[in-house]
Amino acid sequence: MNELVEPAKIRLENSCPPPLPDSDLGVSRALLSRAQAGDAPALNELIARYYERLRRIVRIRLGDAARRRLDSGDIVQETFHSALKGLVDLRVSEDGELLRWFARVAENRIRDEIDRQRAQKRSAGGEMRGDASESLGAMAAADSAPPDVAYRNEVREILDQAIAELPDDYREAVVLRDFCGAEWSVIAERLGRANVHAVQQLHQRAWIKLRRSAAERLGALD
């Protein structure tokens, strides 16, 4: 079992978004300040800095079933559109705080859209909806990508799917720590845990489960 798990550990952890550099905070805050003053190019640049990271968070939080009905790219675009009103008064002390704020807006957009679809009793079958078209585009891009790039993309997809399948508290611990760069104290407060040690143990158990659940799928890539 260890022969499967240990290589998976390396590949999976390297497939998380890279840490947000401390040096980037000044850039993000400057862009935020300009965007709040109505500078459209600054807003576009700010969105570009977080787009892919937020798209992965949205895909994870949607899960397989909702992704068949909702397009993660649309949700991200709607998130940034909805966020414009709140940006005016937003004050942040770190990049991760800004990303977590965007992620909370995205959560609300996902919840609203799912509720709307349920209210309308839409059928999930028939037409191609949600990320199905996006997945086809990704497959086509993978066919033309260099092998190492295609492999990294496959591993990222496996990781994101495995995170989406985690129990809620495990999933949120991984998303907040490894995608949003949240401090342990922030995660403990968000998840209602007694202290930092408790949430660190939760995060560790989540990664053990991730490695085990992804091991077979990763092995199929080799």
Write the pLDDT tens digit of every residue in 84-131: 777 777 777 766 778 888 888 888 888 877 777 777 664 555 444 555
User: Which range marks the domain in which residue 174 is found?
Assistant: 2-125+133-221
Return the higher-pLDDT residue of 95 and 218: 218
Return the higher-pLDDT residue of 44 and 116: 44
- What pLDDT score was predicted for residue 136? 37
Number of domains observed in the structure of the chain: 1
The model carries a pTM of: 0.73
Model confidence pLDDT, tens digit, residues 152-181: 888 888 999 999 999 999 999 999 999 988
- Please state, for a pLDDT cut of 90, what percent of the chain lies above it: 22
- What pLDDT score was predicted for residue 119? 74
How far, in Å, CA of 10 to CA of 1, rounded? Answer: 15
